[in-house]
Amino acid sequence: MLTITKRLEFDAGHRIPDHKSKCRNLHGHRYALEITLQGEPIDSPGASDNGMLMDFSDVKQIAMEHLVDIWDHAFLVYEGDSLMQLLLSGLPDHKTVVVPQIPTVENLAIIAYQILAPRYRQRFGAKLQLAKIRLYETPTSWADYTASN
Ligand SMILES: Nc1nc2c(c(=O)[nH]1)N=C([C@H](O)[C@H](O)COP(=O)(O)OP(=O)(O)OP(=O)(O)O)CN2
Ligand SMILES: [Zn+2]
């Protein structure tokens, strides 16, 4: 099995509304997103991406367009966190992203996978698949979400 991994970083705010301790407070993280793709090297002599699963710049471009540019410097708020949504809606031009689950690193890794998997599939077909998303919330805390197949 052959995989490649591209790492991107972004900053975002969140809170975990029911948390027993400090994470119920508004705070932010420098998240690191590692995108792992599985497939076979392209065999197309003379092509720019010959010998690659996918050009790392294309891996990055897709993730930036569909996820990282949207989440970077945003506040990620759970759709059930109505108090927080009310507060954020009062801030003019605030960058808020409503997510369908509580924004733990586990749930954000799953959401990132669900957003990105079809994008890579659309551009590069069935020969390539998004095998894993690893999302670091802090340098010592992360979640992995792996394709089930
Ligand atoms: N399983 C999870 N546990 C926690 C999550 C989470 O998303 N999933 N999130 C938080 C907080 O949001 C925050 O990330 C604190 O995490 P923690 O690793 O405790 O951060 P610290 O900086 O305090 O950790 P160090 O041990 O100092 O590196 C809490 N738990
Ligand atoms: Zn946190």
Please report whether residue 92 resides in a domain. yes
- Residue 138 near ligand 1, beta carbon < 6 Å: yes
Please report whether residue 26 resides in a domain. no
Q: Secondary structure of the chain in the HEC alphabet?
A: CCEEEEEEEEEEEECCCCCCCHHHCCEEEEEEEEEEEECCCCCCCCCCCCCCCCCHHHHHHHHHHHHHHHHCCEEEEECCCHHHHHHHHCCCCCCEEEECCCCCHHHHHHHHHHHHHHHHHHHHCCCCEEEEEEEEEECCEEEEEECCC
Tens of pLDDT along 27-41?
Answer: 999 999 999 999 999
Please report whether residue 38 resides in a domain. no
pTM value is 0.95
CA nearest ligand 1 atom 9, residue: 104
Instruction: Please give the order of strands across the beta sheet that includes 141-146.
Output: 96-99, 74-78, 3-14, 27-38, 129-138, 141-146
Please report whether residue 37 resides in a domain. no
Tens of pLDDT along 43-66?
Answer: 999 999 999 999 999 999 999 999
Please report whether residue 54 resides in a domain. yes
Instruction: Name the catalytic one among 9, 19, 40, 73.
Output: 73
Looking at the chain, the whole-number percentage of residues with pLDDT higher than 70 is 97
Whether the predicted pLDDT of 149 surpasses 80: no
Please report whether residue 35 resides in a domain. no
CATH code at position 68 = 3.30.479.10
Which value does ipTM take for this structure? 0.93
